[in-house]
Structure 1
Amino acid sequence: MTQPGHRTLTEFKHIVVMGLGITGLSVVNFIARHHPDAMIRVMDSRQSPPGEAQLPETVARHTGSWHSAWLASADLVVINPGISLATPVLAPVHAAGTPIVGDIELFAWYCDKPAVAITGSNGKSTVTALVGEMAKADGINVGVGGNIGVAALDLLDKGHDLYVLELSSFQLETTKSLTLQGAAFLNFSEDHMDRYQSLADYRAAKCRIFTHATTLIGNADDAQTQIDADMCLFGFSQGDYCLCTDDEQAWLSAQGKPALPVSSLSLVGRHNVANSLAAMALADSVGVSQSAQITALRTYTGLAHRCQKVAEHQGVIWVNDSKATNVASTLAALDGLEVSGYLHLLVGGEGKGADFSVLQPALAKLPVRLYCFGKDQAQLAALDASAQCFDTLQQAIDAAATAATKGDMVLLSPACASLDQFTNFAARGQAFVAGVESVIARPL
C-alpha cells in the first residue's frame, strides 16, 4: 500500500540504483519485490562494492566507474546517501528532469503507518533507539531503522504499526514526500564540510525533516534547530520538555509535570538527559504512554560505541565513545564529565576539515592527557601541551594503559571519522574494546 497522493514504482520502467552497500541492496530488493517488471541496473564507482555478491543474478551491474549511458536511459535514479547530488555524472540527469530519489523517498511512497524521525548532528542514534524502546514497552510493534541498524525499506511489509527512523542530512537531501507524526532536529554543529558548501546548506538539508511533519520538535537551547515559533521544544531549563526541581531533585518534566528523576536514568552523561527529553516529546507525538516511556528511561543503557563503559580495571575506567565522529560529539562527551584522577583522552582519525580548536576550552577544564592517532593527529596534538602522537589506536591504548592509575579514566572519543584506518566507527570501537581486553589480560 502507498501513501495517498504519493508516486509508485510501477510508474517507472528503467530504474538505475547508484551505489550499493546495505542501502543499495535494500533498494534493489524492494524494487524487485514491488515492481518485478522493472529493468533494474546497478552501478557503483568501487571495483568490488559491498553487497555485490548478494545481488540477484538477473540484475545488471557495472562497477569501477559510473555508467553515463545507463543514467541517460533511466526514468528513475535511486542514489545511495553517500553520493552527492552534485556528482558531475548526475548533471545531465538533473537537466533532463529525471527524478533522483533516495531510499527514504521510496519508503515515504509505501509507508502506510505512523512514523517519527530524528535528525541532528549528534545523538540521533540514541534517541531513535530510545523511542523504539519506549514503543516496545507500550506493546507496539515498532520498526526501528534508517541511518541506524536496519535499512528503512527493509522495515516495510513486516506488520509494524509504528516506524522510528534516524535520518542523516544525506538521506534528507533526496526526500520530499515523507509524512511524519513527529520530527525532531536535536542539535546542530559543524560537520560534513567536505560535502556541503556552507553550514547553511548543511542546516537546510536537516530542516527538510519538518516538511510534512505534524509535531515539529526542536532544541530550546539551540536556535539553529528551530524554524517556527510554535514548535514543541525540549531543553535543560526551558521548553515543553525540560528539567525541573521536585523534592530537591532534578526531574525530567513533560508539559510542566515531573515525570522521572534524572538520577533514575540508566543513560550516562548530561547530553543523554537532553536525548531523553527529546525522546519523550517524540513518544508523546504518537501516543506512547508515559508509563512505558518511564520504563524505557529506567532500563535503557544505550548503544555500543556511545559513551559505553567497557571495563573498570585496577581502578581505571575505560569508556568507548567511538561514535564521536565529529568535534561536537566529543564536546558532548566531555560536558559535565567527572573524573577523580586524570582523563586520558584518545582522539584521532579523519577530521573532515573540522576546526578542532573549539575543543580547547573543554579540555582546559579537565585534568587531561591527550593521545592523538591517525591522519589528523598533528592538528589534534596542538590542542594541549600534554599531547602525544601515535600511528595507530592500539599504540595510543598501550600508552594510556601504562600511564593510567587508580581514579583515572581512559576515554576513546575521537572527534574524527574512522575511515583513514577503519571501515567504520563500529570497527574502531571494536578495536578499542579488543585493545582494552588485551591490556586487562596482561600479567602484572
Structure 2
Amino acid sequence: RQQEFFCAAGGRGIGGRGGGGLVAERGAAPVAGVTGTNGKSTVTSLLAHMAGRAGRPARAGGNLSPPALDLLEGGGVSLYVLELSSYQLETTHSLHLAAATVLNVTADHLDRYADIEAYAAAKARIFERCDTAVLNLDDARVAAMARPGQRTLTFSLDARSGADFVLATEQGRDWLCRGSERLLAMDELRLVGRHNAANALAALAMGEALGLAREPLLAALRDFPGLPHRAAFVAEIGGVRYVNDSKGTNVGATLAAVAGFTGPLLLIAGGDGKNQDFSPLAAALAGKVRRVLTIGRDAPRIEAALAGVCPIERCATLEEAVVAAARAARPGDTVLLSPACASLDMFRDYAHRGEVFAEAVRRLAA
C-alpha cells in the first residue's frame, strides 16, 4: 500500500514526499488539506461535494479511501481534497496547500506519541506550506497554531468568540453564520448534532478560503447525507431510536456524539482504548446517559472511570449489548453506539462493528 510505503520511508529517514506531496506537485489543480482527531472524513467529503456544486469538480481521498496517488488518475479535476492523518503529515515534506484546516485535537494515538502535545505538533505540520489556514477557536491547541503573516479564517460554536464563522441561536433555532450574517439553519441539514455544526462551519470556511461561490455551498450542505457509521440513524423500534456512531473511536468523538443529543441516552462503549484517559466521560454522561453497556478489552477501565455516574452493565458481545439496551430502554430514549475505542480487539474495523450493531438492531424488529 502507498501509505505504508511512505510511512516506512519516513521512519527510515528517507525523506519521502508522501502521496499528498506528490499530488500537490503533479496534480493539475489546487490541493486542500483536512486533518484533526475527529471529523476529518466528513469535512473532506463535504468540501468535495460543495466544490462540485460550485462548479469546481473535486476528488477527495488520502487517509480516506482512495489513496492520494489514485487521485492523479484521469482528468477533469479542479480541486483535490486530502484527508491527512498525523502519520501522513509526519512523512510529507513538500505539500503545498491552497487551504488547510485542523478541526480539533483530542487525546488519541497516545500509544504512538509521547503526549498530546507531540500529537498536536504533528497535526500542525499541515500549515507549514499553506496559503490559508482555517482554525477552530474552540480548541486552544488548534487556535495556537496560527502563524504570523499567514492568511487565517476561523470558526467557533460560540457566537461571542469573534470567529469568522459561528453557530448562533436565534428564536430557538441554531444558525450557521458568517459573522452576524445568518446563512443556514441547522434544522435544514441532514447532518445532526453540534459536532456536525462545527464540521459544517469548517467546510464553509474552507470554501471561502478556496474562493468558492457561497450559494452553491449552502445548497450542497442542505443535501449532504453524511458518512456511514457517524451518528447514523439505524431504526426506531417501540419509540426507541438506535444510532450507529461506530466511528467514535476515541473519547473526544464520543463526547461530541453525546453532546449532539437532547433526550435520554443508553450508551454502548468499549473496545481497544489505545491508552486513553476515560475520565472526561464522567461529567458529560452524568444526568444524560441512563445506562452504559460496556464491551471489549478496555470495558473495565471505562467502568472505573464511570463508577457512580450511572448504572453500568458488562456485555460479552455487541449483540448482547444491543439486546440489554433494548430491554432497559423506554420510549423516547436513544440507544447510541459510540464506543470511544478502536475496534480491532473484537472486529475487523469500525465499519464491521457498525454493521454488527445495525444487524443486531434489525433483529430486534424481526
Q: TM-score, normalised by structure 2?
A: 0.92
Distance 1:100 1:163, change over 3 A: closer
Code of the residue aligned with 1:388 in structure 2: it is E
SS of 1:434's equivalent in the other structure is: helix
Q: Which residue of 1 aligns with 2:302?
A: 380
Code of the residue aligned with 2:262 in structure 1: it is E
- 2:27 is aligned with 1:150: no
Contact 1:84-1:195 at 8 Å conserved across structures: no
Report how far residue 254 of structure 1 moved: 1.9
- CA RMSD between the two structures: 1.9
Report how far residue 250 of structure 1 moved: 3.5
Q: Which residue of 2 aligns with 1:402?
A: 327
Q: Which residue of 1 aligns with 2:15?
A: 99
Q: Which residue of 1 aligns with 2:250?
A: 326
Code of the residue aligned with 2:27 in structure 1: it is C
Report how far residue 145 of structure 1 moved: 1.0
Matches within 5 A, 1:45-444: 78-80=5-7, 90=12, 94=13, 98-159=14-75, 160-226=77-143, 227-228=145-146, 231-236=152-157, 237=159, 238=161, 239-244=163-168, 249-339=173-263, 342-382=264-304, 383=306, 384-441=309-366
**Structure-2 separation of matches of 1:118 and 1:367:** 32
Contact 2:17-2:94 at 8 Å conserved across structures: no
Structure showing greater relative contact order (alpha-carbon pairs closer than 8 Å, 6 or more residues apart): 2
Distance 1:106 1:309, change over 3 A: same
Report how far residue 79 of structure 1 moved: 2.8
**Structure-2 separation of matches of 1:175 and 1:367:** 42
Task: Return the index of the structure with the highest Cα Rg.
Answer: 1
Contact 2:111-2:274 at 8 Å conserved across structures: yes
**Structure-1 separation of matches of 2:128 and 2:229:** 31
Number of aligned positions between the proteins: 355
Code of the residue aligned with 1:386 in structure 2: it is P
Over residues 357-383 of structure 1, what are the superposed CA-to-partner deviations in whole Å (9 max), with x where a residue is unaligned? 110001113142000001101111221
Code of the residue aligned with 2:89 in structure 1: it is L
Report how far residue 261 of structure 1 moved: 1.9
Over residues 325-367 of structure 1, what are the superposed CA-to-partner deviations in whole Å (9 max), with x where a residue is unaligned? 000000000114211xx42100010000000011000111314
SS of 1:231's equivalent in the other structure is: strand
Report how far residue 108 of structure 1 moved: 3.0
**Structure-2 separation of matches of 1:84 and 1:303:** 32
Report how far residue 179 of structure 1 moved: 1.1
Query: Percent sequence identity over matched residues?
Result: 43
Distance 1:103 1:407, change over 3 A: same
Contact 1:115-1:163 at 8 Å conserved across structures: yes
Distance 1:375 1:185, change over 3 A: same
**Structure-2 separation of matches of 1:398 and 1:246:** 40
Report how far residue 100 of structure 1 moved: 3.7
Code of the residue aligned with 1:351 in structure 2: it is G
Distance 1:354 1:108, change over 3 A: same
Code of the residue aligned with 1:231 in structure 2: it is T
Distance 1:85 1:395, change over 3 A: farther
Specify every segment of 5 or more residues in structure 2 that has no aligned partner in the other structure, as ranges: none
Contact 2:233-2:244 at 8 Å conserved across structures: yes
Contact 1:138-1:288 at 8 Å conserved across structures: yes
Contact 1:240-1:256 at 8 Å conserved across structures: no
**Structure-1 separation of matches of 2:167 and 2:16:** 43
Contact 1:143-1:155 at 8 Å conserved across structures: yes
Distance 1:249 1:438, change over 3 A: closer
**Structure-2 separation of matches of 1:99 and 1:85:** 6
Report how far residue 317 of structure 1 moved: 0.1
